[in-house]
Amino acid sequence: METLLIALLAGLGFIVAYHTYGRWLGKKIFRLSASAVCPSEKLEDGVDYVPTSKSVVFGHHFTSIAGTGPIVGPAIAIMWGWVPALLWVVLGSIFIGAVHDFGALVVSLRNNGQTVGEIAGRVLNKRVRLLFLFVLFMALTVVLAIFGLVIAAVFKQYPAAIFPCVVQIPIAIIIGTLLHRKGFGLFLPSLIALAVMYLTVIYGNTGALGAFNAALAAWPLWQWVLVLLGYSYVASVLPVWTLLQPRDYINSLQLISALVLIVVGLGVAAFFGYTPSGGEKQTLSMVAPMWDFSPKNAPLIFPFLFITIACGAVSGFHCLVSSGTSSKQLKNEEDARFVGYGSMLTEGFLATLVILACGAGLGLGMMHEGTMLTGTAAWTAQYGDWLAAGALAAKVGAFVQGSANFLQALGIAPAVAIALMGVLVASFAGTTLDTACRLQRYVVQELAATLGGKVGESNARQGAPFAPLAWLQNKHGATIFAIVIAAAMAAVPPAGKAWSLASAGKGGLLLWPLFGATNQLLAGLSFLVITFYLWRRGRAIWFLVIPMIFMLIMPVWAMTYQLWEAPGWLLTAREGFPDHKPNYLLGGIGLATIALEIWMIVEAVKIFPKAKGVLEENALDQQPESVPAKV
């Protein structure tokens, strides 16, 4: 019953937070107005700026920000104990992550749907804008290079998940076309699509579907990476109503229905127990330790708990979704709380269920080396060593097996339960990949305009020469550039290995160790932009200061540890690590990232005393406050 009580209390806490703290932020701080004209209507172009109902935008936003982050992060961080992991997820989501996402969304809505990097150039200064855009570019490049590998790995591990994910694409295009051109409603067709997906999951291991899934699962990694990057290009240049919106909405229904199944299954297992195949009846209870500050081979809980669990509590990537795609689709400013604050709380609840699946569901039964293990034996087999448990297959496998046990408590067949959870993981990763590609396109276009000068339609009509980087300001040129850079990184062989087709596709792993700290640093810098936006308008910022400082300190602390603590990236061989060699690539980028953060903080400190109540130049607010404007 302890496990069920945790789930219920966490869910209740998120609901209360949405209707209290979230409401206060919307009304008193951001002052949302239903009469405000949103960028989707002001700049409607039928491609990126498209007025859309809040339920559809919620589907896009939630599935894009979630990715695999709220699954793999909690699935490994639980090694420090389920209590610290749960506290960080619940409190972090309510007071840091949801505030961050909500704030970035509102600030972008008030700035024509621009990204936080673009907005930083006005509320701080142009140097910060350029630095911010470079950080965004690096982070998104790593995401594009690695997520093809992540999806391919999930497909190879759970082949029955392949067809349900693939079939979403043509179904979404058909639904998007009917919705846009015929005015059909989205809900009923999406329910039919969801039913089709579930049928393909149920029969995914049999007959022609099974053969199809097995054939695609046998593809080499490089082939999957190329196909997925190619798909990302197409998805990111198409109008959002064609594929992105309907596909994400279908995915959101699938993902939320899966979460409901997990909760119901958890309740059944809590009341009636569960009997694994070939085993004895098990009582649902937490088999993970409450606290363990020194798991085998694990780094320090401080600061790495707050880097390992990112998307489930707070993630810098979310500010890109809020200010890159979602702000261009909302048609009512008051919907920002539902989309920005509500989506993050939903993700926090997902992360809570991951903790319960790994900490309790796994104990209901797990096959290990041909033997059915239960209770603490299952936990020890999965989490005996940080290095083994931290592998992608192990992290995903712990959640899939634990949550599948909850579904099997409902009478769902083991193969179907495993496949359903595999589809959940792969769907999250897929929506993040093509959204990241569209976001990278925006960043490349903004960088090109900054470095080479904007290409104006009036200049083109008058025969003026194009800016030097004009081709990167075109959506196709910017997207192709982003894809080529990501593919080139993916093609680099892993450290210490010669290039071959077998190793191709894994190059993103070279920079992946940087992503956790860089991603969380991005959240701190995003808080900085939100803080300055409110500070210039004479609004309260006290609720932002502590989260901002926290999210600026923790990533640098973690990066510094990775640089200098054994076996650090910049250290040579030493006692206990005789074969260790320094990694100057990671070390150099790590040092550069720390330098960029310090530079941006120094710029912010210099500006801060002069900025209170002084609107930035060219402020885009529709109804500026009664404060003096900077001349």
Cis peptide before 51 (omega within 30 of 0): no
Judge whether 76 lies within some domain.
Answer: yes
Position 424, amino acid: L
C-beta separation of 630 from 612 below 8 A: no
C-beta separation of 534 from 503 below 8 A: no
For the chain, the distance separating the N- and C-terminal CA atoms, rounded to the nearest angstrom, is: 63
**Tokens, residue 144:** 């594009």
In three state form, how does the secondary structure of 94-117 look?
HHHHHHHHHHHHHHHHCCCCCCHH
**Tokens, residue 591:** 């040092």
Between 565 and 478, whose confidence is greater? 478
The continuous run of DSSP H or E covering 366 comes out as: strand 366-368
In three state form, how does the secondary structure of 506-525 look?
CHHHHCHHHHHHHHHHHHHH
Residue 449 banded pLDDT, cuts 50, 70, 90: confident
Residue 186 banded pLDDT, cuts 50, 70, 90: confident
Cis peptide before 555 (omega within 30 of 0): no
Measured distance CA(177)–CA(241) in Å, rounded: 8
Measured distance CA(486)–CA(481) in Å, rounded: 9
Compute CA 166 distance to the chain's CA centroid, rounded to the nearest angstrom. 21
Position 238, amino acid: L
**pLDDT tens, position by position, 224-240:** 999 999 999 999 999 99
**pLDDT tens, position by position, 556-593:** 999 999 998 878 899 887 767 777 788 898 999 899 98
Which letter, b or e, does each residue of 489-510 get, where b requires 16 or more Cβ atoms within 10 Å of its Cβ? bbbbbeeeeeeeeebbbbbbbb
Backbone φ and ψ for 198, nearest 5 degrees, come out as -65, -35
Which range of residues forms the domain containing residue 200? 2-455+474-512
Residue 444 banded pLDDT, cuts 50, 70, 90: very high
C-beta separation of 357 from 349 below 8 A: no
Is the predicted pLDDT of residue 624 greater than 60, yes or no? Answer: no
C-beta separation of 52 from 245 below 8 A: yes
Virtual torsion, Cα 477, 480, 486, 489, nearest 10 deg: -90
Judge whether 525 lies within some domain.
Answer: no
Measured distance CA(101)–CA(64) in Å, rounded: 12
**Tokens, residue 100:** 């961050």
DSSP, res 181 = I
Judge whether 588 lies within some domain.
Answer: no
Share of the chain above pLDDT 90, in %: 63
Please count the CA atoms within 13 angstroms of the CA of 602 that sit on its side-chain side.
8
Q: What is the pLDDT of residue 461?
A: 37
In three state form, how does the secondary structure of 549-602 look?
HHHHHHHHHHHHHHHHCCCCCCCCCECCECCCCCCHHHHHHHHHHHHHHHHHHH
Compute CA 522 distance to the chain's CA centroid, rounded to the nearest angstrom. 13
C-beta separation of 203 from 209 below 8 A: yes
Measured distance CA(56)–CA(211) in Å, rounded: 34
Residue 452 banded pLDDT, cuts 50, 70, 90: confident
Q: Which residues contact 352 (CB under 8 A, 6 or more apart)?
A: 6, 7, 10, 11, 86, 89, 90
For the chain, how many structural domains are there in total? 1
Backbone φ and ψ for 505, nearest 5 degrees, come out as 105, -15
Nearest one of 265, 269, 311 to 425, comparing CA atoms: 311
Is the predicted pLDDT of residue 628 greater than 50, yes or no? Answer: no
Is the predicted pLDDT of residue 374 greater than 90, yes or no? Answer: yes
**Partners of 572 in beta bridges:** none
Judge whether 315 lies within some domain.
Answer: yes
Judge whether 586 lies within some domain.
Answer: no
**Partners of 282 in beta bridges:** 274
Between 444 and 67, whose confidence is greater? 444
In three state form, how does the secondary structure of 278-342 look?
CCCCECCCCCCCCCCCCCCCCCCHHHHHHHHCCCCCCCCHHHHHHHHCHHHCECCHHHHHHHHHH
Measured distance CA(456)–CA(199) in Å, rounded: 51
Q: What is the pLDDT of residue 279?
A: 76
Measured distance CA(237)–CA(38) in Å, rounded: 22
Judge whether 406 lies within some domain.
Answer: yes
Backbone φ and ψ for 366, nearest 5 degrees, come out as -150, 130
Nearest one of 350, 344, 337, 317 to 93, comparing CA atoms: 344
Residue 456 banded pLDDT, cuts 50, 70, 90: low
Mean pLDDT confidence for 83-112: 98
Sign of CA dihedral 546, 551, 555, 556: negative
Compute CA 492 distance to the chain's CA centroid, rounded to the nearest angstrom. 24
What's the whole-model pTM score?
0.93
Nearest one of 263, 322, 312, 339 to 107, comparing CA atoms: 322
Measured distance CA(594)–CA(387) in Å, rounded: 26
Mean pLDDT confidence for 459-476: 64
Judge whether 603 lies within some domain.
Answer: no
Judge whether 436 lies within some domain.
Answer: yes
Backbone φ and ψ for 273, nearest 5 degrees, come out as 75, -175
Mean pLDDT confidence for 334-340: 98
Is the predicted pLDDT of residue 127 greater than 90, yes or no? Answer: no
Measured distance CA(597)–CA(135) in Å, rounded: 9
Backbone φ and ψ for 334, nearest 5 degrees, come out as -70, -15
